[in-house]
A and B are shown apart, each in its own frame.
Chain A
């Protein structure tokens, strides 16, 4: 039986740390390392990480919730895709199921589903998913006034000064992404994946589905294809990454380059004091598709950093060891502040 390390008391002002769990071992790793909230999904297209081998059934969710509650952590169920025509009842049933299982909150993108949840389960805490594409206080306040959402996850496209203005004008707790794979497009507003494969986060709960990927050797190098579309070619020196469309190399007027973004990971560790001062209530870690080892490392580092930030305030300094540990688990091997800081602006 894994030893539970007693945690030092957390500063009351510390931002909540929201960590991903694709599997029960990842859930335990997150909670053992001090996550306040763990988010997970069912084994179907009602969540945006609908990948084989991931996610939870009723038994593992019940056990996960029990494990979390014994350690003062909470379990959030992500129902963050858009109910598709004709299968609307499946998403309604998923809301009922999450409520019956005792989830501490559900994370929802679809306005109709929020309406259903608010009406049917008035006691159930509602978080607005990043997939809901609410980029202004007016949009967020609408969801608050209509459905009583208590937290909203801000799309990663917003800069710090924009996020700050949103926070100042909403009673809703604001959660922002701190670390993980970075989407260059507005969440909930990207159909690139379905254009090539027929499946997207909005429609099927996944971007660039594994079954649509082909790796093949050619005279020009190792090729990655998505739905038959050539995403990138790699030489011996390259580090082939997962062929997500917006991280591919394409050709514009004869120039071959990354037209959308370099393959990097989001890492906002150095912005923690700024985020705390702005009134950000929760920091989200991306990566339900990642291993328990990833979750363990990232949760440990971010727990320490958030607590240190709450204690030290302006004297907060990022420890080199934190960055080294995070670099070990980053995709793309380099980190970026994403849109929070905009060198490209």
Chain B
């Protein structure tokens, strides 16, 4: 089972991003996804920065993947996507059909979680276009993923979103700017103040969602660490950990140690607690509302 570090979904200052990926060179991770996928206004990192990070990670033995935007609205967004797809060096994760179609027949690619490959028919189409790996939509359950994998084209890898706040929705509107009473085009880049997103609670105090600019995430952290055997049974060949403001490397080490049998399940779960930025959830995995968390692990 491979481990991957998903694209950074938040907006951090450039130096922090650089430091984060410098540390990642030493983390037990097979693949690292790079690039801005959420908001085209975020410009701390330039394409050249991402490519430079990619070179260092590649030198450290990691597979590097550049991810495209999940929402393309403008010509500038299209140009950015073209630059990522045509980077000439690294594998690309396509997060919308424009990117996938540009890659089709030219280069192998990763079919990202936003491509909505909910079934074997669509996965077969993506594979025919050149997808060598797919990341199932976050809503798919273990049974659902298994069912698709059972009918999937031979050899395609399956990477599951295993840890992190879930990217639930995307909009043209910016909800962080709205909170700050700012217009999107004059947002003062306030996302930079919220390294794990901006918490949104219900009126009776339940932590529910997180605003991350144009993206809305779960407040709860998807946590499949107690479910690693089930991810194997579901046909996963890789597990994705999504970056958070702290402890990302520790989380990856715990996943690696569990996968390699170096730590017992109970001890791994205990060790994970200090690195959780919020409560765990795994409802989608069980075909339930995503925010639920099943405490019991069937033997």
Contact = CB atoms under 8 A, between A and B. Distances in A.
Interface of A is mostly: mixed
Contact of B98 (A112, A142, A185, A252): A142
Interface string B90-129: 0000001110111010000000001011111111111000
A249 interface: yes
A196 to B, nearest CB: 6
Contact of B71 (A189, A200, A220): A189
A252 B139 contact: no
Nearest to A81: B118
Given A138-B102, A229-B206, A260-B175, A344 B118 contact: no
Contacts of B121: 83, 88, 110, 112-113, 115-116
B199 A252 contact: yes
Interface residues of B, number: 72
B2 interface: no
Interface stretch (A33-41, A128-136, A270-278): A128-136
Contacts, number: 217
Interface of B is mostly: mixed
Contacts of B122: 82-83, 110-113
B191 to A, nearest CB: 14
Contact of A135 (B96, B169, B284, B289): B96
B65 interface: no
Interface string A111-146: 111011000000000000000111110110111000
A330 interface: no
Contacts of B77: 136
26 contacts: A82-B119, A83-B118, A83-B119, A110-B118, A112-B117, A112-B125, A115-B121, A135-B73, A136-B77, A136-B78, A139-B72, A157-B73, A185-B171, A185-B216, A186-B71, A186-B170, A189-B114, A189-B169, A191-B137, A195-B283, A202-B137, A227-B289, A250-B202, A252-B199, A253-B179, A344-B184
Given A85-B140, A190-B170, 19 more contacts: A84-B118, A84-B119, A85-B144, A86-B143, A112-B125, A133-B96, A134-B98, A136-B73, A138-B98, A138-B102, A192-B169, A192-B216, A195-B289, A249-B203, A253-B198, A260-B171, A260-B175, A339-B173, A344-B173
Interface of A: 82-86, 88, 91, 109-113, 115-116, 132-136, 138-139, 141-143, 157-159, 162, 165, 184-186, 188-192, 194-198, 200, 202-203, 220, 227, 229-233, 246, 249-253, 255-256, 259-261, 339, 342-345
